Amino acid sequence: MQTEDPFVGVPPAPFTRFIDVGREIAARELIGWEIRLDHSGVAIDGSAWDLRKLSKDGNPTGSKLRQFGTLPQVAVEMRERGLPCMVAADQKSVPVSVHWQELVKSYVLQQVVLAGRSLSHVLATCSAMRLIATVTNNKAPWQLVADDIDLCLSIALSLQSSGQSAVVIRSFVKTVLDAHHLVDAAPLMPFIGTERLRKPGKVHQAKFVKKTADIKAALQERKSEEKLPEMRAFWEFMRIVFTERPKTFTDAIRFAQGKLLTITGLRIGEIALLPLDWKRTHDYHDEFGAPAAKHGGISRALLLRHYSEKQGSTRKQGGNLWEESQYIPAMFEQIVCETLQEVERLTAPLRRTLQAQCETGRLLPMYEPDALLPIIDLYVHLTGMVLTTEISAAAAQPFFDSYRASYDPIELDRLIDLQRCGSLKPRMALYQFSIRLRKNGMILRDQNGSPNRGHGALHAFVRVSDAEKYIREQTPTKLSDLTPFQLDGGRLVQPWEMLFLQPKRALAEGRDNIPCHVGRVVGVGIATQEVLRLGLSSDESSCPTLFEIYGETEEDRRLSLLPHSLRHLQNTELFRLGVADTIIRIHFINRVC
């Protein structure tokens, strides 16, 4: 479904050329230009573009272009301000106009296929375009004026105090609308106000009139303050990841990623793709082979092996990951080693499952294909759910507490065994699961393998080969990430060789506060950068942030943080301490030899 534009006049020639470039790329890449949408602006099944396939960036995690609807929270904000809004109060979202859809599609193809930009950046800009279309009530892109963008910036900052959306909007105006002369009133940037990007009540003046002590006093007084983390949010984030006990497995992964993000200054995508074999060392000797420490130097340095983003056209042409390394300062070596060793321990059960799946090509490699599997076990494998019976919360809680003290799944095994031994009533969800299996053609069997005509779930079995077929056909979101990465030298890296792994769609842990059994769940994925990004700022998500979960005060729980601001923070601190920019550059791009 697409919305028809009102009469908006003829698009200017630059806008038409911009769209034509996108169409040419689509034809060259053999993808259909038209994307069919539902009533809310979401691409229907089979119509969305596979951006990961287009990007050829070596990352096996999926990413698709499917959102072409207005932003619900923006429409709510407009109605609260008394502004006219094309989205009715009883509607959540409607598709943006055809011209905005074409602009989004052409932008995506040019940025992903030609420029090789990261998918996270491209999708963030797509969201910014949808925001502008929502605020301006589908005004044609070429009819935008500076006042329109100012209003968009104001609403973006109201909805997202971190300012990320506002920064993306300004970047879109500068690098797309102005650079390609897509608007009749171009250029817009010189006429867009800057006041809306400043903190309320804050007085700005030229940096050269301030004392050095004042500049060093707070992060907000540094250059490009919108790129730096807010000081209160930064220190609250440090308190959380270094002192709080994680309440879930996912939070344990987020804590580790947050520590590394701050210490190393790597990009969030580079942290997410850290390899299991991360540790490298470099020995230093004098000209006679003696250790450098003998002369007051450092004899051995620790390096963090990682896969770098933003490697330009060379990476883009091969579609590979670039292997690099970064030195870890001696004062942080112990923290980094302890953090990564703990992540390796936590993810070991997931890694064993994923490795067996990659090597056998099967989804349940722990069983023979013709073996009989109790429905209860299949339910645990698919969902990670450890509660299969109506056991009381008081009886289950000690097992949960013991598990969360160490995150050793053996504690959850004991809980599952306890439920098998009793005469407890099965959970309603288990009954519904058995009914869903029957409706999808699964043959339920008794312990001898004969078809089971009963309707119970406790004593029903399925053949393992049938269960694997069901998972592939009926629950594709539970399939593990099995596609290998390719390095710039041509070597393949298997998914289980990545450090940060997580169970796929383990909904009970976040929704019902019930631990996921990472030793039995069969859907294993690489922990993408969204795992941490949503933990720091979830303006467009229902997922609570780390601040909301672990914040000590109401003000703390309203904080948010941009992951990339931590990288800018490290750059800024190194500059402030007098480190030459050439040395800073070497620190961030040192290659593995």
Q: pLDDT tens digit string along 489-524?
A: 778 889 999 999 999 887 777 777 889 999 999 999
Alpha-carbon distance 78 to 85, whole Å? 7
> What is the dihedral angle through the alpha carbons of 261, 265, 267, 273, rounded to the nearest 10 degrees?
-60
pLDDT at residue 587 in the model: 58
Mean pLDDT in residue range 258-265:
90
pLDDT value at 5 more than 90 = no
Alpha-carbon distance 589 to 324, whole Å? 7
Alpha-carbon distance 146 to 359, whole Å? 57
pLDDT at residue 586 in the model: 58
In single-letter form, the type of residue at position 330 comes to A
Q: Which residues of 550-570 are buried (b: 16+ CB within 10 A; e: fewer)?
A: bbeeeebbebbbbbbbbbbbb
Instruction: Give the residue extent of every domain in the chain.
Output: 13-197, 372-530
Highest mean pLDDT among 233-237, 569-573, 589-593: 233-237
- Let me know how many helices (H) and strands (E) the chain has, helices first: 24, 11
Q: pLDDT tens digit string along 124-157?
A: 999 999 999 999 999 999 999 999 999 999 999 8
Exposed, middle or buried: residue 412 (CB in 10 Å: 0-12, 13-18, 19+)?
A: buried
Q: Residue 348 corresponds to which tokens in the numbers above? A: 């070991």
Report DSSP state, residue 70.
P
In angstroms, how far is CA 188 from the centroid of its own chain?
32
Assign residue 296 a region: left if phi > 0, alpha if psi is -120 to 50, beta otherwise?
A: left
Using 50, 70 and 90 to split pLDDT, how confident is the model at 265? confident
Q: pLDDT tens digit string along 305-344?
A: 998 875 543 334 345 678 888 888 888 899 999 999 999 9
Task: Report pTM.
Answer: 0.66
CA angle, 147 as apex, 142 and 148 as ends, to 5°? 50
Dihedral sign (CA 163, 168, 171, 177): negative
Alpha-carbon distance 273 to 253, whole Å? 13
Dihedral sign (CA 275, 277, 281, 282): negative
User: SS3 of 176, please?
Assistant: helix
